[in-house]
Structure 1
Amino acid sequence: MRIKEKSLEMEHAGGIKNAFLHNMSHEIRTPLNSIVGFMQLLDTDVTAEEHDLFVGIIHQNTELLVHMIDNMLLMASLECGEYPISPIEFDISSLMHDLAEALHGYIHAGVELKVKVHKPQYVRLDLNSLRRVLKALILNANKFTPKGSITVDYNVDGDMFNVSVADTGIGIAVEDRKRIFGKFEKLDHFSQGLGLGLPICKAIVKKLGGRIGVQSKLGCGSTFRFSVPYCDRRE
C-alpha cells in the first residue's frame, strides 16, 4: 500500500514538472520573442506613430514577463516556508475603497467593478497578503467576464473574515472546479500566464489559516469565497 502511494506521489510530481516545463517554454518565450522582435524593429525606419506603438508593446510584454517571474518566486517562497506573514491593524473598509480605486483601470470595457464598502471594521491581518489575494481574484474574474459585473463583498462572522468575488462571466464546468487550484493548470490555453494565480491564492489563504473555494455554473458566472481568521483590535 505504501509503495502504491509513493508511486502515485511520484506520478503526480512528474505531472506537475511536465506542466511546469510546458508552460514555461511557451509562456516565457512568447513575451520574450515580442520584446526582442519589436526592439529590432525600433532600429529600422519607422514612423513616430509606429515607434510609440512598438514601445507600448515592449512595455506590455515586459510587465507580463516580470509578473510571471514574480509569481514563480512567490510560489517558491510559499512552498519552502519562507513566505513572510506580518499582521498589522487596519480598517477593512479603507482597504476595499483603495482597492476599488486602484483596480478600476484594469477592468475592461463592458464590465463594472462593484466593491462594496461597509462601516469601518478594524482587524489585525497580514495586509499585503489580503490585498494580493483580492487583486488576483478580481483580475481573474475580469479575464473570464466579457460583459456584466464583478462584485466584491465581505463580512465578519465570529472570528472569521469572509470575502466573496462574484462575476457574471463564462463560469466553470463541474469537472474543472477542483483543477483550477492546481499549479500550472489553465482552463483557457489562449490566455497568457503560467497558471499560478489561483494556486498562489490558495497557498496564501492556507498560510493565513483560512480556506478558499468556488461556486460556479457554466455560462452563468462564478463566485470565489475565502475566509481567514482575524483579530478585532477595537477597544
Structure 2
Amino acid sequence: MKVKEKVIEDVEHAESIKNAFLHNMSHEIRTPLNSIVGFMQLLDTDVTAEEHDIFLKIIHQNSELLISMIDNMLLMASLESGEYQMERVDFDVSSLMHDLSESMQGQIHDGVELKIMMHESIYVCLDPNSLRRVLKALILNANKFTPAGTITVDYNVDDDMLNVSVADTGIGIAVEDRKKIFGKFEKLDQFSQGLGLGLPICKAIVKKLGGRIGVQSKPGCGSAFRFSVPLLIHHININV
C-alpha cells in the first residue's frame, strides 16, 4: 500500500471511530440522564410509598450505569495514552476468584447461574486489579447476552501462563462478528446498554499484561472468551 493511501485510510478510520463515539455518547449517556431527571421530577409529585421506592431504584440503577460508562471512557483513555498503571504483587488467584464470585452474584440476572470453578491456592506475581477488571467485564458481557443457563469461569496455570475462560450458554456470536466485538464502540446489539467499550478494554489490558485474548462461539450455543497472561509463579500451596 502506498504511503498516501495508508494516510487516507488512517484518516478515514479515525473519522469513523470519532463518528461512532459521538453517536454512542449522544444516545447512551442521554438515556440514563433522561431517566434520572425524569424520575427525580416524579418524586416531587403525589406518589405512593411503593412508587417512591420504585422510582428511587430506577434512579439508582441509571446512576450506576452512567458512572460505569464514564469510568470506561476514562479507563480507555488512560490505556491509549499509556497512563494506565499496573503493579505486580503476590496474591492467590483462587482467593481472587472466590471474592469475585461473592461480589458479582447480585449482578447476575434471574435465570442465570454464575459458576466460578475453584482450585487449590495458586500464588502468583501479577496485577490483581487488571485481572479483576477483565474478569468482571467478561462476566457482565456474558450476562448481557445469556437469557438463561450458566456463566462458567475457569482457570489454570500452564508453565508460566495463567489461562482463564469465561463461557456462557447465551445467544452466541456469528463468525463475521467475532473480530468486530473487540473494536471500540462496536455493538452487535444496538439496543443493549453501554458504549461498546467493555471488550476493547479487556483486549487492551490483556495486551498490556503481555497476553492475548480471543473468543470461540456458535450462534445459539453460547460463547467462550479465553485469555492468557504471562506470570511469575512464586509457589503453589495445596489445600490451604
TM-score calculated relative to the size of structure 2: 0.96
| Residue pairs, 1:33-52, within 5 angstroms | 33-52=34-53
Give the 4+ runs in structure 1 shifted more than 4 A: none
Q: How far does residue 47 in structure 1 lie from its aligned partner after superposition?
A: 1.2
SS at match of 1:56: helix
Match of 2:183 in 1: 182
Match of 2:27 in 1: 26
Alignment partners' CA distance in 1, 2:43 and 2:108:
30
Q: Does 1:96 align with 2:120?
A: no
Letter in 2 for 1:102: S
Q: How far does residue 99 in structure 1 lie from its aligned partner after superposition?
A: 0.9
Match of 2:77 in 1: 76
SS at match of 1:86: coil
Q: How far does residue 13 in structure 1 lie from its aligned partner after superposition?
A: 0.6
Match of 1:145 in 2: 146
CA deviations 1:74-93 (Å, max 9, x no partner) are 00000000000111100111
Q: Does 1:126 align with 2:127?
A: yes
Alignment partners' CA distance in 2, 1:21 and 1:37:
23
Letter in 2 for 1:95: L
Match of 1:53 in 2: 54
Q: How far does residue 144 in structure 1 lie from its aligned partner after superposition?
A: 0.5
Q: How far does residue 109 in structure 1 lie from its aligned partner after superposition?
A: 1.4
SS at match of 1:122: strand
75-84 or 97-106: which moved more? 97-106
Alignment partners' CA distance in 2, 1:168 and 1:41:
39
Alignment partners' CA distance in 1, 2:230 and 2:10:
31
- Contiguous gaps of at least 5 residues in structure 2: none
Alignment partners' CA distance in 2, 1:36 and 1:165:
36
| Residue pairs, 1:164-183, within 5 angstroms | 164-183=165-184
Match of 1:13 in 2: 14
Letter in 1 for 2:206: V
Alignment partners' CA distance in 1, 2:46 and 2:121:
57
Q: How far does residue 188 in structure 1 lie from its aligned partner after superposition?
A: 0.7
Letter in 1 for 2:51: E
Q: How far does residue 108 in structure 1 lie from its aligned partner after superposition?
A: 1.2
Match of 2:235 in 1: 234
91-100 or 173-182: which moved more? 91-100
Q: Does 1:224 align with 2:225?
A: yes
Letter in 1 for 2:225: F
Q: How far does residue 44 in structure 1 lie from its aligned partner after superposition?
A: 1.1
SS at match of 1:233: strand
CA deviations 1:162-221 (Å, max 9, x no partner) are 000011100000000000000000011111100000000000000100000000011110
SS at match of 2:163: strand
- Contiguous gaps of at least 5 residues in structure 1: none
Q: How far does residue 110 in structure 1 lie from its aligned partner after superposition?
A: 1.3
Letter in 2 for 1:233: H
Q: How far does residue 234 in structure 1 lie from its aligned partner after superposition?
A: 2.2
Alpha-carbon RMSD across the aligned residues, in angstroms, is 0.9
